[in-house]
Chain A
Amino acid sequence: MTDRRRIFLLLAPALLILGGLFLGGLGLTVLRSLRYMPALGLTVPDLSAYRAVFASPGFLASLTLSLWIATASTLIAASLALGAALLLRQSFPGRSVISFLVQLNLTVPHIVGAIGILYLFSQSGAFARLAHAAGLIAAPGEFPALTHDSFAIGIILLYVWKELPFITLVLLANLQGIGEDYESVARSLGATRWQSFRHVLLPLLAPGLIAASALVFAFAFGAYEVPLVLGASSPKALPVLAWQAYTDTDLSTRPKAMAMAVVIAGIGLGLLLLGFRTLRRGGPNAR
């Protein structure tokens, strides 16, 4: 058997399934968003669904909110993860316990974490009760709204909780590959701790950090169940708004739902390409 045939046979099932399901699903979404529905006599694609979506104030508010959620969650989770990875790289009492917790967290479904955050930070949650016990508030309503709030603080807290371990593990794996030699060389040449971190370690970690952050951003931007549990009723996160438009009894809103899904796909795909290219260009593997 020639190599070409072998490669084709090895890849065919995966390409068939993923090509069929993923490209089929994505393709149909794009066609529907262009209002191309031959069954209903709509055979001329147009952009009216996109125009309607971009003209509606609700969409722009949701898009802004989702971008805010993704940006804030990614920045906070990535900086904390960098600290956590540097911490877990060293030995100190209790390190194995923390390593276990970091890994445990990775296996917990988002919706469980979201409910946990809700029970902690809602206005009748654990922290509100502590505030009451400390005499800071007299009634639940006086506790600041941290869940179902318009700044999406609860959602961001959940993503920081859930994605910090993910980025930390990616960084720890990279750190293992990098070793400590580069830093020791830098230190022996007179670099301070900060200089050897800033000019030696950070550039080596950057590709993995950027790729993991891109994944986190795409997830936080497009996830549905987290804002469903923790989000405010207005503005809604973009995925919740899109799902609502899709399941509306008024079928005429469906092309708008599809258009929103295409916007989410486009942003996700852009980030994916960014992460992909960053990893291709450098990183511990390229050495």
Chain B
Amino acid sequence: MRGERWRLIAGVALAAWLILPFLPLAIWSVAHGWRFPDLLPQELSSKAWAYALSARAGVLDSFALTAGIALATTCLAALIGVPAGRALALYQFRGKGLVTLLLLAPAMLPSLAVVFGLHGVFLRLGLTGTVSGVILAHLVPVLPYMTLVMAAVFSGFDTDFEAQARSLGATSLQTFRTVTFPAILPGLLTGALFAFLVSWSQYLLTLAIGGGRVQTLPLLLFSQSSAGRNDLTAAIALLYILPGLLILIVTARQVTGRGAALARGLGG
């Protein structure tokens, strides 16, 4: 059928375009001097990878620091975002539109809109150049995302189950632990994984608040890239996308559901 053939061609073109930027990264990471106009490197070498994975390069330290910041940001965002998402999904109240806007705007507006002012505030609090300052700053884009996902999760949650548990004599804590928490856990985990990725990808907020003293992977990546070390840059870039790849494989089955949750969340 003609339609089917066109679909296949369009699909191949789309797949090629999506995968294209990864190809030079993969080749550069194992290239030994890949000069113009060689189509492929004359020699292959594992030097860049060996250096990137060695202790002295600092790449692994940076990886651990970036992951630690993202993990801490995600936990804080979950603690604050779960109750907020519940309030947005299950209650009607005056000023809800405004509250929703305030809770979502920080993720939608460019970081640059707040970063200078944030730097001023953090300077006074003595938080610039510290890891805790960077974690707090990452909450600006991460917390709205978490709240949005939890609002979508709670909109499908039936509070009658809680009422039944309470009427059978469970305390608030018991009700939360045995009824609410298991029900929201799958959504919470998906939200947490993607909150992790949002923090993991931050560049400007880390640069501004960390003041160069908190060297996360994207900062390291940029400094290697501007130093012209293409092989090392490519190796770091590939290491940097690894967690996203793992998260995607873990959540592969839930992703269409997450897409729906995202769109529903956008619908308010």
- Chain A positions within 8 Å of B, measured between CB atoms, are 3-4, 6-7, 9-11, 13-15, 17-19, 21-30, 32, 83-84, 87, 90, 92-95, 97-98, 100-105, 107-113, 115-120, 124-126, 128-130, 132-133, 140, 161, 165, 169-170, 172-174, 176-177, 208, 211-212, 215, 218-219, 221-225, 228-229, 239, 242-243, 246, 254, 257-258, 261-262, 264-265, 268-269, 272-273, 275-276, 279-280, 283-286
Flag B24-50 by CB within 8 Å of A: 1 or 0 each.
110010000000111100000000000
Asked if A97 contacts B15 (CB within 8 A), the reply is yes
A112-B236 Cα distance, complex, nearest whole Å: 9
Shortest distance between the CB of A9 and any CB in chain B (Å): 8
Least CB distance, B193 to chain A, in whole angstroms: 9
C-alpha gap A254/B241 in the complex (Å):
35
Residues of B within 8 Å of A, CB-based: how many? Answer: 89
| Known contacts A104-B244, A119-B24, A265-B114, A224 near B87 by CB under 8 Å | no
Q: Is the CB of B21 within 8 A of A224?
A: no
Residues of B within 8 A of A29 (CB): 113-114, 116-117
CA distance A109 to B238 in the complex (A): 11
Is there contact, CB below 8 Å, between A15 and B102?
Answer: yes
Determine if B221 and A174 form an interchain contact, defined as CB atoms under 8 angstroms apart: no
Cβ–Cβ < 8 Å partners of B19 in chain A: 101
Please report the C-alpha to C-alpha distance between residue A95 and residue B12 in the assembled complex, in whole angstroms: 10
Query: Closest approach, in angstroms, between the C-beta of A97 and any C-beta of chain B?
Result: 6
Q: Which residues of B contact A22 (CB under 8 A)?
A: 102, 105-106, 114, 140
B81 within 8 A of A: yes
A residues in contact with B256, CB < 8 Å: 172-173, 176
Question: B95-137 vs A: 1/0 string, CB under 8 Å?
Answer: 0000101111110111111111110110000000000000011
Q: How far is A22 from B114 in the complex, measured between Cα atoms in Å?
A: 7
Give Cα A254 to B119, complex, Å: 12
In this assembly, does B240 line the interface, its C-beta being within 8 Å of a C-beta of chain A?
yes
In the complex, B75 has a CB within 8 A of chain A: no
Alpha-carbon distance between A14 and B20 when the two chains are bound, in angstroms: 40
Distance of A175 Cα from B114 Cα, bound (Å): 35
For the complex of A and B, the 8 pairs showing the least CB-CB separation, nearest first, are: A222-B110, A116-B21, A107-B244, A265-B113, A28-B117, A119-B24, A285-B267, A25-B114
Taking a contact as CB atoms closer than 8 A, the residue among B121, B201, B262 that contacts A110 in the complex is B201
Q: Which residues of A contact B24 (CB under 8 A)?
A: 116, 119-120, 125-126
Contact of A222 (CB < 8 Å), options: B79, B113, B144, B233: B113
Q: Once the chains bind, are B8 and A94 in contact (CB under 8 Å)?
A: yes
For the complex, give the distance between the alpha carbons of A94 and B18 in Å.
14
